[in-house]
Chain A
Amino acid sequence: MSTTKAALSSPIKGTGATATGVGRMRPAAAGTLKRVVRGLMYAFLSVVAVFQLYPLVWLFLFSLKDNTEIFGKSPFALPAPPKWENYVAAWTTGKVSQYFWNSVLVTGAAVVLTVIIGSMATFALTRMRWRMSNWVLGLIMLGLMIPVHSTLIPLFRMYMALGLIDHPLSLIITYTAFNLPVTVMICLGFYQSLPRELEEAAVMDGASIHQIYLRVTLPTTTPVLATTAIINAIYNWNEFVFVNTFISSDKYKTLTVGIQNFVGQYTTNWGAIGATLMLSFLPLFVAYLLLSDRIIEGMTAGAIKG
């Protein structure tokens, strides 16, 4: 461990910097410089944190205000007292609770389908030997680059012909297909690194390929499947374009489009709008508090491999 690192990690001991790369400076001056740089680094990170966090805090604050506070006082003022009834009103008036459960249903169904189909595909692509596998993998991966809008009109027409316009099944099928590329991408590395020996042993014991998939591969890949499930859930929960295009009646709308309608009806009621936005954010926020490491792993898994 070099002294630079030691000096960096203990900025109080200014003299620790004597033997660092900043050789030409007097030791005390170098120590002061280190401390200033260190301070600037924390200041920089804190400014970024405030920029990322403050709009969310402000959303929370105005979700607890009534209109006299919104229109009469500074937007920076704290709600006094907090109007928790905004949340009750948001949940009970309008159809927010309906949209919420629709989101739960569509998100859940699509996540289950995507994880099952994605893991089967990854199993075939990484553990089985066949000629076209690289080509099929490339095809699935390129799916990440395809703009949704380049598929929207034909999908609309197809669902129209199938009678699935304004039916949640159109969303569930579409989410499953469009999330397969990212699901396979996250699973890929994990599946590739599974040891062959486990499978060989199972084959020796006379297991069929299905038994291997169900009893060996699936149990050993549960962690990565959980990661893909939560990443899929975030995407589906927040999806907007497909709902906006395929679903027209209130009884099937999910939260994103539902909120959009709600806001249109209650434009001037900031408190109720804020509460609705918070309600849509809360499930993912709670999941993030509980599973942040898994979520972070899922978000970085694909891009890191380049």
Chain B
Amino acid sequence: MNKVFSNPWVIPLYISPALVLVLGLIYIPIAFTGYYGLMEWDGIGQMRFVGLENYRNLLGDSIFWRAAKNSVLLAVFSTLALGGYLATALVLTERIKGADFFRKVYVLPLLLSTVAIAQLWSRVYHPRLGILNTFLLATGIVDRPPLWLADPNLVVYSIFVPILWQYAGFYILIYFAALKGVPNELMEAARIDGASPWQIALFVKVPLIMNVIKATVVLAVVGSLKYFDLIYVMTGGGPNQASEVLASYMYRKAFREFNFGYGSAIGFALLLMALAATFVIRRLTRAGADAET
């Protein structure tokens, strides 16, 4: 038995296709991104080593900081939205008739491609023909139609809404499944002790799915930091780069302005932020888990 399952000739046969792909297309490119970040390079001609110049320029680049701020802002909003998704899942698990139907409806936006979502929401936000302004004008909430995607002060928040819309179902599903796994006896016991449904939700159910909540926080934060598609399609980072995020700024620098060295430096900074966020959240939550035991 052991001989069959630890045969040193067979193991590489099964693991190496995956390992080669993951190393070759994810990890080695990362290293190259770090390396190109030290170069001046237009993508076609010779590379010229410039040391840390790209990174120095990055620190003084106000658009980079704005993009980083927008990415972090999206991470904050996505994390706060998790509270709303958790609340929805808590309500859904309260023996709701049609819970299955609600759950399935919530997931639908996730099936739409981000390009389609961007096209759809550009029309929702259309100043004159969109449903949002038509509704706001008809109900008298505003008298002048807001320019959701053209106003530099509004645009960031306008693009956050469809992103939260897109992923709401995903997180509600995860919380719902986790809450379904909470053993009934614990809730029974709390109820016998006279706990109200609110108390049971807050002090029994939520602490019991804490690990899942932590995992979703990592997903939401890292997912936000690397978010790209919808912003690129909907605003291209505009107007006047007001809605630029790290990934869209990297894309513009590399594939629009052919400044591949600088683009690589942004890509590498993005990687460091994603890994740092993962590490910090894991670290903070591990400390929490240790304290519990």
Contact = CB atoms under 8 A, between A and B. Distances in A.
Contacts of B195: 21
25 contacts: A2-B188, A4-B191, A5-B95, A8-B95, A41-B96, A42-B96, A45-B102, A49-B106, A56-B108, A56-B112, A58-B120, A120-B15, A121-B18, A128-B11, A148-B228, A149-B247, A150-B29, A153-B29, A154-B29, A157-B43, A176-B21, A241-B251, A259-B113, A273-B119, A277-B116
Interface stretch (A85-93, A219-227, A278-286): A278-286
Contacts, number: 286
- Chain B binding surface, main DSSP class: helix
Contact of A304 (B1, B108, B181, B218): B181
Contacts of A241: 228-229, 251
Contacts of A177: 21-22, 24-26
Contacts of B188: 2
Interface string A294-306: 0110011001101
Interface residues of A, number: 99
Given A149-B251, A240-B229, A277-B120, 17 more contacts: A120-B18, A123-B14, A130-B6, A139-B23, A147-B270, A149-B250, A150-B268, A151-B267, A152-B251, A241-B228, A256-B116, A260-B115, A270-B129, A281-B116, A299-B110, A299-B174, A303-B212
In which size bucket is the chain B interface? 35 or more
A192 interface: no
Interface in A167-225: 173-174, 176-178, 180-181, 184, 199-200, 203, 208-210, 212-213
Nearest to B172: A48
B114 A180 contact: no
A289 to B, nearest CB: 9
Contact of B22 (A55, A71, A150, A180): A180
B32 interface: yes
Contacts of A127: 5
Contact of B130 (A75, A121, A145, A277): A75
- Chain A binding surface, main DSSP class: helix
B270 A9 contact: no
Interface of B: 1-2, 4-8, 10-11, 14-15, 17-19, 21-30, 32-33, 36, 43, 88, 91-92, 94-96, 102-116, 119-121, 123-124, 129-131, 134-135, 165, 168-170, 173-174, 177-178, 181, 188, 191-192, 194-197, 211-212, 214-216, 218-219, 222, 225-226, 228-229, 233, 246-247, 250-251, 254-255, 260, 263-264, 267-268, 270-271, 274-275, 278
Contacts of B6: 128-130
